[in-house]
Structure 1
Amino acid sequence: MKKANHYSHILKNLRSYLGLALVGVFTISCEKFVDINDDPNNPTEPTLNLLLPATQLSLVGHFSGSSATGGLNGGATTVSQHVASGNLNRWSQTGNTFSTPWAGFYTETIPDLETIISVGTEQEEWGYVAIAKLQKAYLYSIMVDVWGDIPYSQAGGGYPNPAFENGQKIYDSLFDLIDEGLSDIGKGFSVTSSADLFFQGSAEKWSRMGKSLKLKLLNQIRLVDAVRAETGIKALIADADGLIDDNRHDFTFQYGTTVSPNARHPWFVSWYNTGRGGYVSMPLIDRLKAQDDPRLRYYIFRMDERRGLANSTNGEGYYGRYPGDGTASPADLNTRAIVGIYPAGGLYDNGTIPSLTEQHVYLNNDGAVSGTTNNSFKVALFTNGDGNGAGILPLITNFMVKFIRAEAALTLNTGEDAKQLLKDGVEAHLTLVNAVSASNGGQTIPPANINGFVYRIGEQFDAADAAGKMELLMMQKWIALYGNGVEAYNDYRRTGLPELADLLAPLDEYPMRFYYSETELTSNETVIAIRDEFQRKQQFTPVFWDVND
Structure 2
Amino acid sequence: MKKYKLYIVASGLALFTAIGISSCTDKFEEYNTDTSRLTELDASAVGNAFAASQHRGVMFSWQLFNSLFGDLQAQYFGNIAQNFGSDRNVMVGNWLNGAWNGFYNQVPALYGVLDNTKPGGPAANPAVYAIANIWKVRMYQPMTDYWGPIPYSAVGNGLKQVDYDAQDVIYKDFLTTLAKSTADLQAFKGKNVLGNNDLIYNGDVDQWIRFANTLRLRIAIRISGVEPALAKSNAEAAVAGGVMETNAHDAYIKTTANNINSMNQATAWNEFRMSAAMESVLTGYEDPRITKMYAPIEGTTATYKGIRNGYTQVELGLPANQNTKLSNVNDRFTPANQNTNPFEVIMSAEAWFLRAEGVLKGWNMGGGTAKTYYEKGIETSMKQWGISDAAAIAAYTASTKTPIAVTGAVVSPALSDITIVWSADASKQLEQIITQKWIALWPNGVEAWTEYRRTGFPKLYPRMNSESLVVSKDQVVRRVPYVIGETQTNPAGLATGVAKLGGADNEATRLWWNK
| TM-score, normalisation: structure 2 | 0.80
Q: Which amino acid aligns with 1:153?
A: S
- Give distance in 2, aligned partners of 1:397 and 1:221: 20
Residue 295 (str. 1) matches residue 289 (str. 2): yes
Asked if structure 2 preserves the Cα contact closer than 8 Å seen for 1:303 and 1:334, the reply is yes
Report the CA distance between 1:407 and its aligned residue: 0.7
Residue 120 (str. 1) matches residue 117 (str. 2): yes
Partner residue, 1:363: none
- Give distance in 2, aligned partners of 1:285 and 1:30: 48
Report the CA distance between 1:56 and its aligned residue: 0.8
Q: Which amino acid aligns with 1:324?
A: G
Query: SS of the counterpart of 1:96?
Result: helix
1:10 to 21, 24, 48: 21
Report the CA distance between 1:338 and its aligned residue: 0.6
Alignment of 1:278-293 (within 5 A): 278-293=272-287
- Give distance in 1, aligned partners of 2:231 and 2:325: 48
Asked if structure 1 preserves the Cα contact closer than 8 Å seen for 2:262 and 2:338, the reply is no
Asked if structure 1 preserves the Cα contact closer than 8 Å seen for 2:350 and 2:377, the reply is yes
Partner residue, 2:200: 198
Asked if structure 2 preserves the Cα contact closer than 8 Å seen for 1:133 and 1:180, the reply is no
Q: Which amino acid aligns with 1:175?
A: L
Asked if structure 2 preserves the Cα contact closer than 8 Å seen for 1:126 and 1:187, the reply is no
1:483 to 443, 450, 454: 443
Asked if structure 2 preserves the Cα contact closer than 8 Å seen for 1:522 and 1:528, the reply is no
- Give distance in 2, aligned partners of 1:184 and 1:456: 45
Alignment of 1:139-150 (within 5 A): 139-150=139-150
- Give distance in 1, aligned partners of 2:325 and 2:254: 29
Distance 1:233 1:200, change over 3 A: same
Distance 1:73 1:428, change over 3 A: farther
Partner residue, 2:429: 469
- Give distance in 1, aligned partners of 2:259 and 2:345: 21
Distance 1:527 1:425, change over 3 A: same
Distance 1:131 1:230, change over 3 A: same
Report the CA distance between 1:187 and its aligned residue: 4.9
1:321 to 303, 307, 323: 307
Q: Deviations over 1:120-164 (max 9, x none)?
A: 122321222111100112222222212101111111232322011
Q: Deviations over 1:326-356 (max 9, x none)?
A: 2344494555421115xx544xxxxxxxxxx
Query: SS of the counterpart of 1:10?
Result: strand
Partner residue, 1:213: 215
Runs of at least 4 residues of structure 1 off by over 6 A? Answer: 32-35, 528-535
Residue 406 (str. 1) matches residue 417 (str. 2): no
Partner residue, 1:431: 383
Asked if structure 1 preserves the Cα contact closer than 8 Å seen for 2:68 and 2:86, the reply is no
Residue 454 (str. 1) matches residue 362 (str. 2): no
Asked if structure 2 preserves the Cα contact closer than 8 Å seen for 1:3 and 1:31, the reply is no
Partner residue, 2:57: 59
Query: SS of the counterpart of 2:385?
Result: helix
Partner residue, 2:416: none
Tell me the C-alpha RMSD between the 2 structures: 3.2
Partner residue, 1:108: 106
- Give distance in 1, aligned partners of 2:31 and 2:126: 25
- Give distance in 2, aligned partners of 1:457 and 1:267: 34
- Give distance in 2, aligned partners of 1:201 and 1:50: 13
Query: SS of the counterpart of 1:339?
Result: coil
Query: SS of the counterpart of 1:327?
Result: coil
Query: SS of the counterpart of 1:97?
Result: helix
Report % sequence identity. Answer: 22
Query: SS of the counterpart of 2:156?
Result: coil
Report the CA distance between 1:244 and its aligned residue: 0.9
- Give distance in 2, aligned partners of 1:475 and 1:454: 13
| TM-score, normalisation: structure 1 | 0.76
Distance 1:43 1:522, change over 3 A: closer
- Give distance in 2, aligned partners of 1:232 and 1:531: 27
Q: Which amino acid aligns with 2:431?
A: E
Partner residue, 1:422: 374
Q: Deviations over 1:92-135 (max 9, x none)?
A: 113222222321322322x3222211211223212221111001
Residue 77 (str. 1) matches residue 100 (str. 2): no
Q: Which amino acid aligns with 2:211?
A: M
Q: Deviations over 1:454-477 (max 9, x none)?
A: 243799544441111111111111
Asked if structure 1 preserves the Cα contact closer than 8 Å seen for 2:252 and 2:344, the reply is yes
Query: SS of the counterpart of 2:492?
Result: coil
Distance 1:104 1:268, change over 3 A: closer
Asked if structure 1 preserves the Cα contact closer than 8 Å seen for 2:164 and 2:497, the reply is no
- Give distance in 1, aligned partners of 2:343 and 2:356: 23
Distance 1:318 1:166, change over 3 A: same
- Give distance in 2, aligned partners of 1:515 and 1:28: 30
Residue 395 (str. 1) matches residue 345 (str. 2): yes
Query: SS of the counterpart of 2:310?
Result: coil
Q: Which amino acid aligns with 2:100?
A: W
- Give distance in 1, aligned partners of 2:17 and 2:144: 29
- Give distance in 1, aligned partners of 2:238 and 2:194: 29
Distance 1:460 1:186, change over 3 A: closer
Q: Which amino acid aligns with 1:115?
A: G
Distance 1:397 1:33, change over 3 A: farther
Distance 1:91 1:34, change over 3 A: same
Q: Which amino acid aligns with 1:323?
A: N
Report the CA distance between 1:388 and its aligned residue: 6.3
Q: Which amino acid aligns with 1:294?
A: P
- Give distance in 2, aligned partners of 1:516 and 1:120: 33
- Give distance in 1, aligned partners of 2:495 and 2:230: 37
- Give distance in 1, aligned partners of 2:133 and 2:30: 19
1:498 to 453, 458, 472: 458
- Give distance in 2, aligned partners of 1:233 and 1:530: 31
Q: Which amino acid aligns with 2:255?
A: Y
Asked if structure 2 preserves the Cα contact closer than 8 Å seen for 1:28 and 1:108, the reply is no
Report the CA distance between 1:527 and its aligned residue: 5.1
Gaps of 5+ in 2: 1-13, 402-418
Asked if structure 2 preserves the Cα contact closer than 8 Å seen for 1:244 and 1:398, the reply is yes
Distance 1:512 1:431, change over 3 A: same
